[in-house]
Amino acid sequence: MLEMQHSPCRFEIPQSEFTEVRMRNIKIGVLALQGAFIEHEHMLTDLGAVCTEIRQPSDLTGLDGIVLPGGESTVQGQLLHKSGLFTPLRKLISDGLPTLGTCAGLILMAQEISNPVADRTIQEKAAPTAHLGTLPVTVRRNAYGRQLSSFVTEQPIAGIGNHPMIFIRAPYIERTDVNVEILAKVDGNIVAVKYKNQIGLSFHPELSENSNIHEWFLSQCEK
Ligand code: GLN
């Protein structure tokens, strides 16, 4: 486990946006092609939301929000194409449906992936990660190294307060467009952002005991 330094955040989210929310009947689609989707479902269900697993385009109807879970972004990107989900999912997010992307989910949302070609696997060189490109940021995949890359820390998130952050072969964000709000940094690197309807996190809140981020996300879905 690494000890990370406290990094101040530049933006504040008003507390009123995520306190006193009523989450009954909010329907969240959790992308369930691969990765840690069950953990998101448990957390959201405990908060009173209704979850549906997204595996095919017909699963995208009637949603109030979308979760893109962690896992392996290269695999998820390929499966998005195979399943026919890529284009309709990208349209829903671009059109403003609240979306929470964690780790591989953040990579899928990113407009640009910065990893040098030398860092890519043979498969990735042949078929670069297919990503939705809805979030105007540049991410670096496996930014903490491929092997000794998992760690836990607790850091402040703007508007939410201190939050446990579990990083597993995580990306971080190297560049953001001016309209992207930076919500948290760890060791000087950006690990949480918000852009319009999209929240992107490098870490896994669904693997911690703290559901404040999911609660805040659900409050966005309720509007
Ligand atoms: N390293 C993975 C990727 O590039 C992300 C890992 C995760 O989601 N925990 O897709």
pLDDT value of position 128: 57
State the distance from the centre of ligand 1 to the C-alpha of 164, rounded, in angstroms: 18
Catalytic (active site) residue 51: no
pLDDT value of position 71: 96
- Ligand 1, residue 76: give the atom nearest the CA: 10
Q: How far apart are CA 64 and CA 46, in angstroms?
A: 17
- The protein residue with its alpha carbon nearest to ligand 1, atom 5, reads 104
* C-alpha closest to that of 89 among 173, 32, 159, 137: 32
Q: How far apart are CA 104 and CA 109, in angstroms?
A: 9
Catalytic (active site) residue 3: no
Residue 151 parent element (H or E): strand 151-157
In testing the pocket of ligand 1, which one of 146, 166, 169 has its CB within 8 Å of the most ligand atoms? 169
pLDDT value of position 88: 98
What CATH number does residue 59 fall under? Answer: 3.40.50.880
Pocket of ligand 1 (CB under 6 A): 70-73, 103-104, 107, 141-142, 168-170
Specify if 62 maps to a domain: yes
Q: Which residues contact 166 (CB under 8 A, 6 or more apart)?
A: 150, 152, 203, 204, 205, 207, 208
Specify if 110 maps to a domain: yes
Specify if 6 maps to a domain: no
In testing the pocket of ligand 1, which one of 73, 76, 132 has its CB within 8 Å of the most ligand atoms? 73
Specify if 9 maps to a domain: no
- Active-site residue, selected from the candidate residues 9, 103, 181, 214: 103
- Active-site residue, selected from the candidate residues 41, 181, 206, 215: 206
Q: pLDDT below 70 — which residues of the chain?
A: 1-24, 116-129, 146-148
Specify if 178 maps to a domain: yes
Specify if 126 maps to a domain: yes
Write phi, then psi, for 190 (nearest 5 degrees). Answer: -75, 130
- The protein residue with its alpha carbon nearest to ligand 1, atom 8, reads 70
Catalytic (active site) residue 204: yes
Total tally of structural domains belonging to the chain: 1
Specify if 8 maps to a domain: no
* C-alpha closest to that of 79 among 120, 121, 122, 130: 130
Specify if 5 maps to a domain: no
Domain span holding position 83: 15-221
